[in-house]
Amino acid sequence: MYDDFDREWKEGDRAKAKAIAQKYVNTDPAFSMLTSMLEGLTIEELVALIDRKRTASDEDGRRRVDMYLLVNREPQRIVGSFAA
């Protein structure tokens, strides 16, 4: 399921990726515990958590937080300039 989600989100149909994430969030019993841990975090904190999981090579953990973010938070439009 994680691979399907990643493939659709990165290269395929974003609506299908969201449907995969929604199904996972609604059917996996372990996700309810994860949701209770994540629901109090801000978007910035969730993004930082995703970065930490990516840095730690915890791809399954990163995908779970990505799915939570996609299902439970509104999409963000980020604009501005990048300064190195």
Residue 80 pLDDT exceeds 80: no
CA dihedral sign, ordered 69, 52, 30, 28: positive
Residue 13 pLDDT exceeds 70: yes
User: Per-residue pLDDT tens for 29-72?
Assistant: 878 888 888 999 998 899 899 999 999 999 988 989 999 998 88
Q: How far apart are CA 11 and CA 40, in angstroms?
A: 30
The confidence band for 19, taking pLDDT boundaries of 50, 70 and 90, is very high
Sequence-ordered list of residues with C-beta below 8 angstroms from that of 17, at least 6 positions apart, any chain: 5, 8, 9, 70
Average pLDDT of the residues in 22-30: 85
